[in-house]
Structure 1
Amino acid sequence: MDDTTHDLRARNFPSAQEDVAAVTPASRYAGPESAYRLAFDDKDFLLREELRPVRMQLELLKPELVQREHRIESTIVIFGSARILPRDEALQRVAAAQALGDADALKRAEMQLAMSHHYEEARRFAGIVTTASKQLDEPIAVVTGGGPGIMEAGNRGAFETDGPSIGLNIVLPHEQAPNDYITPELCFQFHYFALRKMHFLMRAIALVCFPGGFGTLDETFEALTLMQTGKIRRRPVLLFGREFWTKLINFDLLVGTGMINAEDLKLFHFVESAEEAWGVIERHYGLDALDTQTGAFAEDV
């Protein structure tokens, strides 16, 4: 007798996994040219051009469902360059350039060493967030793009303080394997930039933006645009390193020429240290109060 006969929650139909395992087609229909394979188990079918909408839906659903299963509700996103090195590696490059006597290489290496400060601050910031999160009613997880540089620093800081972190990696022609510090069950790979950026924002209670190139600017200013236009709720956006950001973007020119309103400058804050960045977030959400009731921080986009 089937031992599930009296189970009120027993399945009425076999699962998809059970059906896939049960299919043993006759040899006539087992070849690659056969259409007999179940549609959801047919990789060639799923990769057809016409199935793009289905693949986009899957790319939206997979990270969403996995994060729900791991009770990830609130996140802090760390953006920044993949090219910024940890200090020890930057020092090695300076020493190598000095040994070669190559003035141009030395100049580049010295700039990398100066920029490595941001790697170390991102690493410390992620550690501060992860440590503080353990005391909160609503834990906060660090999220990065999952690659090297500032992204690695963020995941590394969480890893070194024994906390989970998320990596939203993407398939690119020239990079990138996920870094070694992401929680494996929270390491995702994306094909579509748009869906990756949506997942950055869906649970974010704050965005911390370190120096970076086109990718960092794209992610940062899309978030600012969505807040400016009311498409998403406002949340702290912290631009790390005033000197870098004000040299890169002439915000006063944007205001002076009427391209943005003076009020739009309140959409972000400049910060210089990991402690200052965490302090802005603490004050915004009242996390520095003695008796914290953190509640739910984030809402879906």
Structure 2
Amino acid sequence: MDRITPESRRHTLRQASEDARYSKEVVPTPQTADPAYRLAFQDLDFLLREDLRPVRLQLELLKPELLLAEAGIVSTFVFYGSARIPSAAQAEALVAAATEPARRKVAERLAAKAHFYEEARRLAYLASCAPCRGDGGRDFVVCSGGGPSIMEAANRGAADAGAPSIGLNVVLPHEQKPNDWVTPHLSFQFHYFAIRKMHFLMRAKAVAVFPGGFGTLDELFELLTLIQTKKMAPVPILLFGRDYWSRIVNFAALAEEGVIDPVDLSLFTMVETAEEAWALVCARAQAG
């Protein structure tokens, strides 16, 4: 079957893009100047109305889906993790800038995690070296939240391999911008956290979870719940840093208390290095 392309889907009716262009050439009158006369899809005030939330949700789901499909991205390797862990080059400066004892202690803890930046970068590089399919489709395309720290390391590792990578940014009250290593035409911005989280997992073939805070924990537990409840097919879930995860979450206690089944503890694997993680992903892929 021939692949369906935008060109092969042409209809006999005039394209919306043409009418959008013509609408700008209309003769000004009191009627044409009123917002009511604007084409609905060009009327930003209308699209931002509370009543239009279902439409905006649909658009946020559809836009990245179409562009990722057009880019030939079949599956992704998702990277979750903190936006605060420094690279090795930044660690010393982070500690030096913390003058108060309490802040210095926190800075030292973050600096001690700098090796995770390098492991994320290395793992992303290994995944990005995976060969393309015979039809040109790409597997294990690195996908991060598009921001700094662990997210930056993931996109940077893909760039090291000369491969494309995805960044899924979200609008936040404080300034946020895509890191410099996200592939520009695969850099997306979201208003709705829920739709962003769907895009993280819709193509996920493996997920690496590095030390992180509320956002990372939220993403991890949603992923575990989706697989536990069979809403999502199992994928390798790799938790980097046994010491961190064993201290932050007592997974065994959940099973001992009976609130999860002991078999649920097998949904994830704790690892320390990129090579260890990639070997597990490859073994799972070969096992089918």
Listed as ranges, the matches of 1:46-65 within 5 Å are 46-65=47-66
In the superposition, relative to structure 1, how do residues 245 and 10 fare at CA in structure 2: closer, same or farther (>3 Å)? closer
**Residue 35 of structure 2 contacts residue 43 of structure 2 at CA under 8 Å; is this kept in 1?**
no
Task: Give how far 1:109 is off.
Answer: 2.8
Listed as ranges, the matches of 1:62-73 within 5 Å are 62-73=63-74
Q: Verify: 1:115 aligned to 2:116, yes or no.
A: no
Q: Which residue of 2 aligns with 1:185?
A: 185
Q: Which residue of 2 aligns with 1:159?
A: 159
In the superposition, relative to structure 1, how do residues 261 and 10 fare at CA in structure 2: closer, same or farther (>3 Å)? closer
Paired positions, count: 276
Q: Distance in 2 between matches of 1:219 and 1:105?
A: 27
Task: Give how far 1:11 is off.
Answer: 4.5
Q: Which has the larger radius of gyration?
A: 1
What amino acid is the match of 1:43? L
Q: Which sections of structure 1, spanning at least 5 residues, go unmatched?
A: 1-7, 288-296
**Residue 121 of structure 2 contacts residue 155 of structure 2 at CA under 8 Å; is this kept in 1?**
yes
What amino acid is the match of 2:40? A
Deviation string 1:11-44 (CA, Å, 9 cap, x unpaired) is 522211111111222211343x331111111111
SS of equivalent residue, structure 1 residue 81: coil
Q: Which residue of 2 aligns with 1:220?
A: 220
Q: Which residue of 2 aligns with 1:292?
A: none
CA RMSD of aligned residues (A): 1.9
Listed as ranges, the matches of 1:18-167 within 5 Å are 18-23=18-23, 24-28=25-29, 29-31=31-33, 33-97=34-98, 102-131=100-129, 133-134=130-131, 138-167=138-167
Q: Which sections of structure 2, spanning at least 5 residues, go unmatched?
A: 1-7
In the superposition, relative to structure 1, how do residues 10 and 54 fare at CA in structure 2: closer, same or farther (>3 Å)? closer
SS of equivalent residue, structure 1 residue 118: helix
SS of equivalent residue, structure 1 residue 264: helix
Task: Give how far 1:208 is off.
Answer: 0.5
Deviation string 1:98-130 (CA, Å, 9 cap, x unpaired) is xx6x54443333222101111111111111111
What amino acid is the match of 2:262? A
Task: Give how far 1:55 is off.
Answer: 0.5
Deviation string 1:163-192 (CA, Å, 9 cap, x unpaired) is 100001100112421111100000000111
In the superposition, relative to structure 1, how do residues 9 and 256 fare at CA in structure 2: closer, same or farther (>3 Å)? closer
Deviation string 1:225-245 (CA, Å, 9 cap, x unpaired) is 010011111111111111111
SS of equivalent residue, structure 1 residue 182: coil
Q: Distance in 1 between matches of 2:38 and 2:219?
A: 40
Q: TM-score, normalised by structure 2?
A: 0.91
In the superposition, relative to structure 1, how do residues 278 and 96 fare at CA in structure 2: closer, same or farther (>3 Å)? same
Of 136-145 and 68-77, deviating more is 136-145
SS of equivalent residue, structure 2 residue 207: strand
SS of equivalent residue, structure 2 residue 215: helix
Q: TM-score, normalised by structure 1?
A: 0.87
Q: Verify: 1:232 aligned to 2:227, yes or no.
A: no
SS of equivalent residue, structure 1 residue 208: strand
Q: Which residue of 1 aligns with 2:248?
A: 248
Task: Give how far 1:136 is off.
Answer: 5.8
Q: Distance in 1 between matches of 2:264 and 2:270?
A: 14
SS of equivalent residue, structure 2 residue 142: strand
Deviation string 1:199-221 (CA, Å, 9 cap, x unpaired) is 11100001110000000000011
In the superposition, relative to structure 1, how do residues 265 and 9 fare at CA in structure 2: closer, same or farther (>3 Å)? closer
SS of equivalent residue, structure 2 residue 265: helix
What amino acid is the match of 1:134? P
